[in-house]
Amino acid sequence: MNKTLPVQKNEYIDVVFEDLTHDGAGVAKVDGYPLFVPNGLPGEKAKIKVIKANKGYGFGRLMEITEASPYRVEAPCPIYRECGGCQLQHMSYEGQLMAKGKQVKDVLQRIGKLGDVKVHPVLGMKDPWRYRNKAQVPIGEHEGGLIGGFYQQRSHQIIDMQACLIQQEKNDDVVKRVKEICNRYGVRAYDEKKHKGDLRHIMARYGLKSGEVMVVFVTRTNELSNKQKIIDDIVGTVPGVKSIVQNINSKKTNVIFGDETKVLWGEEVIYDYIGDIRFAISARSFYQVNPEQTKVLYDKALEYASLTGKETVIDAYCGIGTISLFLAQKAHKVYGVEIVPEAIEDAKRNADLNGITNVEFAVGEAETVIPDWYEKGVQADILVVDPPRKGCDEKLLQTILSMKPKKVVYVSCNPATLARDLRVLEDGGYQTVEIQPVDMFPQTTHVETVALIELKL
């Protein structure tokens, strides 16, 4: 027992929650010592049990709320506590948006030393439910039948799920029907311990505007018993189905997809729209799971770019070309770069699909390709970055500082790495003008932001 700590394991204490962590736990402090407690909300008074006391911080379990937050609500999902896919269903949507705004401001101050930058209120959804257009469901067996749902928090125990309240209802329906059909024909679920059985995952994609559906089976081997009967039943009973695909993943791994993908029936892709731009979506395409809020985010990025039709724009981390194609509608020329070759193939296809000819896409690391373009005389007026959670590569930030585009529009899915990168750009002669957070993932702790950064003259 560590006598120097203000709390001890198994001790019961009364606390007041001051904040939320980035994964949605309540933060309480005892003599400056932080305790992280799942399900606690800022402003609440509660009795907790200390379950772990490390040197610099501890963890607790919520035993009783003695004074509830005005933002506390009853989570509507029956498996909310077990699942872990959502972290904030016990908080009203108004409270969620305020907490996300605070999170952005806090990291800008703490990590970026940018406390005076204007951060606008978070742009939320009118209806913050049923927004996800892609369901990836692990499949297991229970009492001789197939089950599919989500892994229980911190385990590989599958919780059977009939409905997910942040999924499009169409996807719930597709997964349920496909599960029933596979059960009917005796398909065996993959057993990850024994590395036996066939069906690992069922994935459903739904085009919100097009109404088109794709069904993907992820299997351990080429085999899927009664394959033709399963296909016939899906085609006969799933409205809107346009594509049935099989992906083979024979490895002992947590990664969902394997390298081989083949079309079992119908098309290789389904189509959907973000704004007026049409996108072809294959089984493995990266495509935003909340197209409604993606449009809000990209409209803001476009507004910050304030294009007149004369500008050259570089889109680092361009993915399947979503932001590039939005920008190309208003720019003179757009160059997009992305490290994933399949994404660049999708980007080129999407440009062709929309008759957009003023874009050029390249495969490679942004920090390698962009300096190469620069040497060949490509001078960007505006640079757009939408990096993964780890933020921009250091070499890319140095490239920006040497290229000196007039504006940088930074789209971020992680406020902490955004704050870190903004500090580098500020120290290199840029000024962060304003930041707009956008809630792409209601009921979770994630928040997207778009920042406008201008070169100081």
Nearest partner of 16 among 38, 57, 36, 45, judged by Cα: 45
Nearest partner of 328 among 353, 293, 296, judged by Cα: 353
- What integer best gives the mean pLDDT of the chain? 95
Report the b/e string of 263-289 with b at 16+ CB within 10 A.
ebbbeebbbbebeebbbbbbbbbebbb
- Contacts of residue 300, defined as CB under 8 A and 6 or more positions apart, other chains included, come to 123, 436, 438, 450
Return the pLDDT at 93.
98
Return the pLDDT at 2.
57
pLDDT band at 161, cuts 50/70/90? confident
pLDDT digits (tens, 9 = 90+) for 186-217: 999 999 889 999 999 999 999 999 999 999 99
pLDDT of 83 above 90: no
pLDDT digits (tens, 9 = 90+) for 292-335: 999 999 999 999 999 999 999 999 999 999 999 999 999 999 99
pLDDT of 107 above 60: yes
Global pTM reads: 0.93
E strands, 113-226, in order: 118-119, 134-142, 145-151, 158-160, 199-206, 213-219
Instruction: Give percent of the chain with pLDDT exceeding 90.
Output: 88
Query: What does each C-alpha distance from 357 to 338, 361, 382 come to in angstroms?
Result: 18, 11, 19
pLDDT band at 3, cuts 50/70/90? low
Active site residue 83: no
pLDDT of 162 above 90: no
Instruction: Give percent of the chain with pLDDT exceeding 70.
Output: 99
Which amino acid, 186? G
pLDDT digits (tens, 9 = 90+) for 398-426: 999 999 999 999 999 999 999 999 999 99
Instruction: Give the pairing of strands 58-67 and 33-37.
Output: parallel
pLDDT digits (tens, 9 = 90+) for 38-49: 999 999 999 999
- Ordered domains of the chain (ranges, CATH): 12-69 (2.40.50.140), 101-126+290-455 (3.40.50.150), 134-274 (2.40.50.1070)
Concatenated DSSP letters for 80-143?
Answer: HHHH-S-S-TTB-HHHHHHHHHHHHHHHHHHTT--TTSEEPPPB--SS-SS-B-EEEEEEEEET
Which of helix, strand or coil describes residue 434? strand
Return the pLDDT at 151.
82
Return the pLDDT at 1.
54
Residue 446: CB atoms within 10 A of its CB come to: 19
- Per DSSP, what are the bridge partners of residue 409? 384, 452
Lowest mean pLDDT among 25-29, 159-163, 167-171, 307-311: 159-163
pLDDT of 243 above 60: yes
Query: Is 116:143 a contact under the CB 8 Å cutoff?
Result: no
Computed on alpha carbons and rounded to an integer, the radius of gyration of the chain in Å comes to 24
Mean pLDDT of 149-155: 79
Which of helix, strand or coil describes residue 455? strand
pLDDT of 154 above 80: no
pLDDT band at 457, cuts 50/70/90? confident
Residue 457: CB atoms within 10 A of its CB come to: 6
